[in-house]
């Protein structure tokens, strides 16, 4: 679109940031695309610059700060935040299919994506069957966890400790915490790494049955390979649960009834939806991607991205034979005749 771009990557990924800077420098001049590296202070100063447009991807908490900084310059923003993206499993759904697609969406990058399924709403009585199906799905996708290059590590020791703390709290409050590691089995400690020792951050996929709203893992975006399961008696209860919280970036529904699907879509609000799958709506260039409420604002991708990051300047070039003078004062019979003619035409 011809825009010049400045990019400020996360300070938590210095090696990736350096690689991004090196690769972009091979194809763009510094005054076309520029990568700016630095800590939180640099990010704060970056957000305060008078850009024509500012796109931020990150947490809701930081997104609010970015919006406040941009407001000083009246800089328009696009905020791609996150939230607790739910999966709703309808009673007529085939659990094996749903579990495989949920496992793929949840465990891509070990759950560290903004649209990862955050928790599952399932008909009461289906918990054990879903746990079995999810375990089989994990084993199919990742026969091993330890040393598996297809299975990502947690970004930092601090984040790994946070995830483990969530699991320990949930277990203390009565939840059933199940390791989904195909080799370690259910006996693995909650939040255990796939490899022994403090250096490993390949956290085993974990299912949490009996999750409640009092638990930290149901109050915050998890951003890891932990999947809480919440049981519901009626679909109305599942919808009420979603609507009681902030609006999510994504929602996933699994079932076979078109009428039930349409009911769920009509009664919930989310940034985007995939039906009988996870993540896939983000891959379609004809579908705008973005959040709503606490999950962000503004949408992009495909044509919508060009429109979002460009200013559409309206220009009218008047011809020599303009009729605009008909509407100049003084007003009288000439204007009345013109208006009558326009009414007949319109």
3-state SS assignment for residue 136: helix
Q: What is the pLDDT of residues 232-283, one digit of tens each?
A: 999 999 999 999 999 999 999 999 999 999 999 999 999 999 999 999 999 9
To the query of whether residue 80 is one of the catalytic residues in this protein, the response is: yes
DSSP string, 20-51: HHHHHHTTS-TTTEEE----HHHHHHHHTS--
Which entry of 21, 32, 34, 80 is annotated as an active-site residue?
80
Distance CA 54, CA 79 (A): 8
To the query of whether residue 114 is one of the catalytic residues in this protein, the response is: yes
Architecture of domain 86-288: 3-Layer(aba) Sandwich (3.40)
pTM of the predicted model as reported, rounded to 2 decimal places: 0.90
What pLDDT shows up at residue 232?
Answer: 98
Tokens of 56: 């931020």
Query: Which pairs count as long-range contacts for 284-291, CB under 8 Å and 24+ apart, including other chains?
Result: 289/80, 290/78, 290/80, 291/79, 291/80, 291/81, 291/82, 291/83, 291/247, 291/249
SS (H, E, C) 281-292: HHHCCCCCEECC
Exposed, middle or buried, 336 (CB in 10 Å: 0-12/13-18/19+)? exposed
What pLDDT shows up at residue 39?
Answer: 92
What pLDDT shows up at residue 323?
Answer: 78
Evaluate whether 190 touches 203 at the Cβ level (below 8 Å).
no
Per-residue pLDDT of the chain (346 residues; tens, 9 = 90+): 789 999 999 998 999 999 999 999 999 999 999 999 999 999 999 999 999 999 999 999 999 999 999 999 999 999 999 899 999 999 999 999 999 999 999 999 999 999 999 999 999 999 999 999 999 999 999 999 989 999 999 999 999 999 999 999 999 999 999 999 998 765 555 555 544 444 579 999 999 999 999 999 999 999 999 999 999 999 999 999 999 999 999 999 999 999 999 999 999 999 999 999 999 999 999 999 999 999 999 999 999 999 999 999 999 999 888 878 888 898 888 889 889 988 998 8
What pLDDT shows up at residue 186?
Answer: 53
What pLDDT shows up at residue 190?
Answer: 58
7-33 burial: b if 16+ Cβ within 10 Å, else e: ebbeeeeeeebeeebeebeeeeeeeeb
What pLDDT shows up at residue 191?
Answer: 59
Q: What is the pLDDT of residues 61-72, one digit of tens each?
A: 999 999 999 999
Which entry of 87, 93, 114, 221 is annotated as an active-site residue?
114
């Amino acid at each position: 679109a011809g825009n010049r771009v400045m990019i400020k990557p996360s300070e938590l990924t210095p090696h990736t940031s350096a690689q991004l800077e090196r690769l972009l420098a091979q194809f763009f001049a510094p005054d076309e695309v520029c990568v700016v590296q630095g800590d939180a202070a640099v990010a704060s100063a970056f957000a305060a610059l008078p850009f024509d447009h500012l796109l931020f991807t990150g947490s809701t908490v930081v997104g609010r700060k970015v919006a406040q900084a941009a407001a000083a310059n009246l800089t328009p923003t696009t905020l791609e935040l996150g939230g607790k993206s739910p999966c709703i499993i309808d009673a007529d759904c085939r659990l094996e299919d749903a579990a495989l697609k949920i496992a793929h969406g949840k465990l891509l990058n070990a759950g560290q994506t903004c649209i990862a399924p955050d928790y599952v709403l399932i008909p009461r009585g289906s918990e054990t069957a879903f746990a079995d199906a999810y375990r089989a799905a994990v084993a199919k996708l990742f026969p091993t966890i330890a040393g598996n290059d297809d299975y990502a590590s947690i970004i930092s020791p601090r984040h790994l400790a946070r995830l483990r703390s969530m699991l320990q709290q949930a277990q203390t409050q009565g939840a059933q915490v199940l390791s989904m590691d195909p080799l370690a089995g259910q006996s693995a400690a909650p939040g255990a790494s796939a490899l022994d020792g403090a250096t490993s951050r390949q956290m085993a996929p974990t299912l949490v049955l009996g999750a409640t709203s009092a638990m930290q893992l149901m109050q915050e975006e998890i951003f890891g390979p932990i999947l809480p399961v919440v049981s519901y008696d009626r679909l109305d209860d599942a919808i009420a649960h979603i609507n009681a919280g902030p609006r999510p970036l994504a929602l996933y529904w699994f079932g076979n009834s078109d009428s039930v699907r349409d009911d769920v879509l009509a009664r919930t609000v989310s940034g985007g939806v995939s039906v009988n799958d996870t993540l896939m709506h983000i891959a379609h260039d004809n579908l705008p991607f973005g959040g709503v409420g606490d999950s962000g604002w503004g949408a992009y991708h495909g044509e919508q991205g060009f429109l979002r990051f460009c200013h559409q300047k309206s220009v009218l070039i008047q011809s020599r034979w303009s009729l605009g003078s008909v509407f100049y004062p003084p007003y009288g019979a000439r204007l009345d005749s013109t208006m009558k003619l326009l009414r007949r035409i319109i």
